[in-house]
A and B are shown apart, each in its own frame.
Chain A
Amino acid sequence: MGFKLPKTHNAYYDPVTFKMTPALYRVRAPFFWRNTIALFGVSLIPLGVYIYTWKKLDTDDFGDIPIPPLSEAEIAELKKEYEEKKKLDA
């Protein structure tokens, strides 16, 4: 008792292709432009956040991050190791 199926308006879709019927197009027509503008406005928010973040990160050279100090000898050794590995891969 008490359980009811939600109102689906199934009759307003073509039973085979499940496309909207002309009647449903007429029902939706008055709301079409306002809904489209709302969709545009709402989707601008995440899109704006994404573009802003991308632009902000692109200009960052990470100069403010301290690099741990290494001596010249250590750097030369690491470089050698790296090039040997590269040769092996190739």
Chain B
Amino acid sequence: MARRHVSFFKKMLSLEKTPEESNTKMYPWDESPYEDIRTRAALIRSRALCPVTKKSVNFVCPYSGIPTHHDEEAWLNDHDYHENKKYELLKKVNLYEHDLRSGRKFDEFVFPGAQEVDFTPNLSNWDTFLYTRDFSPMNTEFNMAAASKVLTYPVTIASILHKYSPHDAQPKGPVSVEGLRSMSALHYTLYPPFSKGKDSEVTFKERPMRIFIIGAKMEAMLPGYVWKQFGYLFPETKFELHFIGPECYFNPETRTFTSTDQPHGRPLIKRYDDQLTMHYHTHYFHEVYDMGDLFPFDPYLDVFFLFHPGFQTADSVHWDKSLKGLLESKCPIYVTGYHEVDAAREIAWLENHPLHDEMDFLMDQCPNPFGSTKLDLVDSNPTETFQANSDIFAFRGKRYHAIKV
């Protein structure tokens, strides 16, 4: 017993060096045993441009095994690449991709059941969350990458809505006064004021809470039991998850993102259990909004999440049309970005938008503690890595008309 305590102190004070794990073999992507990785390497070669010479990519970085530069000379001349140790991130991308295909036993996807009433989940970071929810231990970074890649979507939403949210109010944290206002409205629904009878709750909980996920793709593919992990954190509330966007429904038969073929633009509804239902609207948000089926919006019961919307990409036209509806709803809108620069780009688009005067910022941009830890790279620029939901911020339509004094 005593020896175990000594070894605990030794390890915590990092007196004991843990042996570095390098027993996983690293394959260059061109010679990977998995065909889809070889295809991706070919895709990088055909699409990407060398960051130094701006010519096509034709040189495989020996550290990471990923084609990154035009030739060895360009690779050697890329000081940014070597000084910031970007190759280490790329090496991780390489190892994670191979690990996911390795066919090892994925214990991290054995999910726990309902949270016992006497135990409170701790949502300060991934480790405490997974421990207090009694997930399988994520002993290696590979376990963590695989688990966080799917859990990031439900747990990010939960970490925002939960009463033990890791985001503090200003000036200690990123949440502004307006943010607290929106949050207290939602908390009123999630944690109703104490009453002896159950009757008084009914007066304002006449319908389930709706969570709109706009521009959904990856998150809409998640099966119900992953979303149920979100439900377990709010056992008293019923939820409707609305996935909105042309790529929100993945047809398992044709293996493509298709429209749901529901008549009159109705959503496809999948019921997971009594608590959770999932609605798939395969239209753009402004189309769904104009149809009016979602009315009325209620800031006490509705919240929007935009996971990496890409306001400035080719979808800009649609976001332009959707923004008006989003702001009119007066419900909080949480937006995530792939990395710091990406989230800053989304904010810049909002700030330069003509409707900027109509919005309040609820939450400054800050790193999301429940972002995915799985690194990935951009095919058209292989030296740029990203992580899903890495940064988060929030805005909302102004609650009242501003009066000039």
Contacts and interface: CB of A to CB of B under 8 A. Distances in A.
Interface of A: 4, 7, 9, 11-12, 19-30, 32
Contacts of A20: 8
Which of B4, B12, B136 is the most central at the interface, judged by chain A CB atoms within 10 Å of its CB? Answer: B12
Given A4-B116, A19-B4, A32-B12, A27 B131 contact: yes
A7 B12 CA distance: 24
Contacts of B4: 19
B140 A24 contact: no
A23 B12 contact: no
A30 B315 CA distance: 42
B139 interface: yes
B131 A23 contact: yes
Q: Identify the interface centre among B7, B18, B139, B140: most chain A CB within 10 Å of its CB.
A: B139
Contacts of A26: 127
B295 interface: no
Interface residues of B, number: 21
Given A19-B4, A23-B130, A11 B140 contact: no
A23 B139 contact: yes
Nearest to B137: A23
B235 to A, nearest CB: 16
Contacts of B140: 22
Contacts of B18: 22
A27 B127 CA distance: 5
Nearest to B110: A11
B25 to A, nearest CB: 21
Interface in B121-155: 124-125, 127-128, 130-131, 134, 136-140, 143
Contact of A7 (B7, B116, B138, B143): B116
A28 B116 CA distance: 21
Contacts of A28: 12
B131 A9 contact: yes
B119 interface: yes
A11 B12 contact: no
Given A24-B131, A27-B127, A11 B137 contact: yes
Contacts of B7: 19
A7 to B, nearest CB: 6
A22 B19 CA distance: 12
A28 B143 CA distance: 18
A12 B137 CA distance: 6
A24 B137 contact: yes
B134 A21 contact: no
A25 B12 CA distance: 8
Contacts of B163: none
B40 interface: no
Contacts of B181: none
